[in-house]
Structure 1
Amino acid sequence: MTVYNFSAGPAMLPKPVLAQIKEDIPSFQNSGMSVMEISHRSDLFDNVIADAKNDLRELMNIPDNYKILFLQGGATLQFTALPMNLATQYNHIGLIDTGHWSTRAGEEAEKIGTEVTTVATSKNNDYHQLPEYTDDDNRYDYIHLTTNNTIEGTAFSKLPKTKNVLVGDMSSNFLAQQYNVEDFGAIYAGAQKNLGIAGLTVVIVREDLIGKKPLPSMLDYQLLANKNSMLNTPPVFAIYAAGLTLKWLKDIGGIAEMEKINRQKSNQLYQFLDQSKMFNNLIKPADRSLTNIPFVTGNKELDQELIAQASDRGLVNIKGHRLVGGMRASLYNAMPMEGVVALTDFLEEFEAKHLEEN
């Protein structure tokens, strides 16, 4: 039985990447050492991290005046690191509230004494759509935005206009759809959804925004950039896996081609949900995510039955987040169209069976 993993993260990896990892586990590039054993100070790893940075810069058209950091601690640690590094003039940031993870970003910033103002929110609509935002103050060090909301199922396809520096948490649609890096002062993303395995976080930051004050070493973007992300032992294996994923993405045509594929995949599922008599996606169509699609029946017992039967069919991890319930299909880059077709076929069968019985 073929298994399709719809988990919100850690997510499935591309098959060619898994095959290469399997080959490199015993001996990396005929070194006699496993890829999990190579030193971060070795020439072998120098090539790995350099290739990964160069490929990422090429894929995202990252200008030379932006630093690329490969860090640990998850995107959650960046909720703290970002204000420490960037909120240096006013100690005040604006938050566009689109759900759980944007709220968490604000809460963590406040813990270190940064003033946080919610400049727009869609909480009153249960986060079923994105809020409208216009600048109301230019005394923010930056405006924080979550480009894709993993739990709620919304995403920005068009960025809000701001005179302030824009910072984007891009964790769940990083490399899945196109954005202009120069529209942001900083971008950050956990790797475990579209870039590889858990344990790696990417930060892309404009160099004129960092190095403003001394900070604890492991949270200091300038120091980490000066040390090529190797102030301590970096997540070697995770960076290696990310490098393979970036090469796979280049091979299929880059981010523009990946976004085209992701739109085809998401349309397959949205079209079914929109005509369904049993399932509902509650998100405003213009604000729908390409990568995370929540849906419900309105009946918790029926949801549980569906989740169990789906798992028996090899359609695993479609249980919705505990905050919203129901189901969720995460269609990250490595999810093939065949997996989405298998899911919609199953949902169609499940619906027909239950409508017939009732």
Structure 2
Amino acid sequence: MLNFYSGPSKLAPAVSKELQENLSDDTRHPFLEISHRSKDVVGLFTEAEQLFRSLFNVPDAFDILFTHGGATLQFSAIPMNLCFHNQGNVGVINSGRWSALALIEIEKWCQGEAIASSQPNHFNELPPTPRLEQDYDYIHICTNNTIHGTQFHTIPRFNCPLVADMSSEIGSRPIDWSLYNIVFAGFQKNLGSAGGGIVIVRREAIIKQKNVPSLMNYNNLIAKQSMWNTPPVFAVYSCLLTLRWMQASGGITHFEQERMIKSNMLYTTLEDCHHFSLPIKSDHRSHHNVVFEANEETIEEQFLQAALQADILGLQGHRSRGGLRASIYNAHTQDEVEQLCQFIRDFDQKV
């Protein structure tokens, strides 16, 4: 079976095997069943934090938090921690559904506005980098758009800090931490299983306010080492195993090279097809979420049915966009992508 779902998505086989073994009856530390205050779980969180800091070269000025709610909860939590209530001002680069949803949550806490948007072009390309007409507490950006298949290959620079949602690309290229006050991501694409998230926050950027809900208050989470209440222990365990696997595989440099090779394989295959097209502007295409379209609706239906019969899953586009999509993250091998490419070539010739 080949799994190209956008998230939750494929886990590395070594990670999946260890998770299964931890659920067996004879394991010594069943992380689904022991207290988060136990030394084993505390040690798990400590190792995960240290390993992430090492792999991603996170400066000491940042704290690393393991959180509930994937990335979406942070749409609300981030403005609460970085902006004064009803006084802050946040700019959003609206390049797709997730940045648009973030703007909705920002506006519940403070002033927010889309400073650039590619919605008029149906998000088939990224918006041009705007010139800022005023000061902002931060600029929110989603660096890779899972639904629409676009990616900022060069991160725009402004005279104020960025907050970046990197859920579907984190771990695939180095991060220039000087640009950011926060980088955040859900686990379920490149960092493990669903249910948890990670927030890397510049300590000095956090504003102390009494009206921030306790579980969303970063100072509380920092003080309690991400354990203000019972955290998503098993999700963090999956993250730790993924980080170990990433380190053993060669780290960020290895996965940066891999993403280029795998995405080029798939895009080249689709460009050569007679019955499929690529709607995304070529230099804005994502290396992780390859969006494509069949030239006829009946061909799309036939393609998805043939894929299921071939045990290839997850190729249907997001319900808000339609079309087709293949998501290729760190855990996907070159061989798996080549198998998908061969399936597409064979189907294209038979139709």
TM-score by length of 1: 0.94
Deviates more, 1:332-341 or 1:149-158: 332-341
Deviation sequence 1:323-356 (CA, Å, 0-9, x none): 22111000011111122111111111111111xx
Query: For 1:223-242, what aligned pairs fall within 5 Å after superposition?
Result: 223-242=220-239
Question: 1:118 deviation in Å?
Answer: 1.1
In 1, Cα distance between the equivalents of 2:185 and 2:62?
15
Structure 2 residue 154 is the aligned partner of structure 1 residue 158: yes
**2:215 is the counterpart of 1:218:** yes
- 1:342 maps to what in 2? 339
State which drifts further: 82-91 or 228-237.
Answer: 82-91
Give 1:241 deviation, angstroms: 0.8
Q: Which residue of 1 aligns with 2:276?
A: 279
Partner Cα distance (1:204, 1:48) in 2: 18
Q: Compute the displacement of 1:27 (Å).
A: 5.9
Gap regions ≥5 residues in structure 1: none
Residues 162-193 of structure 1, C-alpha deviations (whole Å, 9 max, x = no match): 01110001111111222212221101100001
Match of 2:49 in 1: 53
* Conserved 8 A contact 2:2-2:312: yes
- Amino acid in structure 2 at the alignment position of 1:239: V
Q: Do 1:197 and 1:242's aligned partners in 2 also have CA atoms closer than 8 Å?
A: yes
| 2:140 paired residue number | 144
Q: Which residue of 2 aligns with 1:194?
A: 190
Match of 2:303 among 306, 319, 322: 306
Amino acid at match of 1:321: H
Identity of aligned pairs, percent? 39
Q: How many residues align?
A: 349
CA separation in 2, counterparts of 1:134 and 1:282?
24
SS in 1 for 2:277: coil
Verify: 1:134 aligned to 2:130, yes or no. Answer: yes
Q: Give the aligned CA root-mean-square deviation in angstroms.
A: 1.4
Mapped partners of 2:132, 2:10: distance in 1? 41
For the residues of structure 2 that align with 1:287 and 1:177, how far apart are their CA atoms?
16
- Cross-structure match for 2:169: 173
Q: Does 1:15 align with 2:13?
A: yes
Which whole-Å CA distance do the structure 2 matches of 1:302 and 1:331 have between them? 23
User: Once the two structures are superposed, what CA deviation does each residue of 1:188-237 show, in whole Å capped at 9, x if it has no partner?
Assistant: 10000111111101000000011421221011011111111100000111
State the 1:46 CA deviation: 1.5
Q: Residue 123 of structure 1 aligns to which amino acid in structure 2?
A: Q
1:322 to 319, 326, 335: 319
Amino acid across the alignment from 2:235: A
Q: Is the 1:268–1:340 Cα contact (8 Å) retained in structure 2?
A: yes
Rounded Cα–Cα distance in structure 1 between residues aligned with 2:69 and 2:307:
33
Task: Give CA deviations for 1:266-314 in whole Å, capped at 9, x if unaligned.
Answer: 1100011122221111111211111100100132221111011101111
In the alignment, the residues of structure 2 paired with residue 53 and residue 138 of structure 1 have an alpha-carbon distance, to the nearest angstrom, of: 36
1:35, CA displacement in angstroms?
A: 2.5
> 1:134, 1:160 within 8 Å by CA — same for their partners in 2?
no
Distance 2:94 2:42 in 1: 39
- Structure 1 CA distance for aligned equivalents of residues 124 and 185 of structure 2: 23
CA contact (8 A) 2:164 2:184 kept: yes
Give the conservation status (yes or no) of the 8 Å contact 2:55–2:247: yes
The equivalent of 1:97 in structure 2 is 94
- Unmatched tracts of structure 2, length 5 or more: none
Q: Which of 83, 87, 96 is the aligned partner of 2:83?
A: 87
Distance 1:231 1:239 in 2: 15
How do residues 30-41 of structure 1 correspond to structure 2 at under 5 angstroms? Answer: 31=28, 33-41=29-37
Partner Cα distance (2:36, 2:207) in 1: 25
2:255 aligns with one of 254, 258, 280: 258
How far 1:139 sits from its partner (Å)? 2.0
Structure-1 separation of matches of 2:6 and 2:234: 21
Question: Does 1:120 find its partner at 2:116?
Answer: yes
Which AA in structure 1 matches 2:333?
P
* Offset at residue 10 of structure 1 (A): 0.4
Q: Aligned residue for 2:267?
A: 270
| Aligned-partner residue type, residue 271 of structure 2 | D
Query: Which one is further off, 316-325 or 17-26?
Result: 17-26
Moved more, 242-251 or 157-166: 157-166
Rounded to whole Å, the distance in 2 between the matches of 1:38 and 1:48 is 12
Residues 95 and 106 in structure 1, CA contact (< 8 A), matched pair in contact too: yes
Equivalent position SS for 1:75: coil
Q: Is the 8 A contact 1:211 1:222 kept in 2?
A: no
Tell me which residue corresponds to 1:24.
Answer: 22
* Residue identity matched to 2:283: A
Show the 5 A alignment for 1:63-82: 63-82=59-78
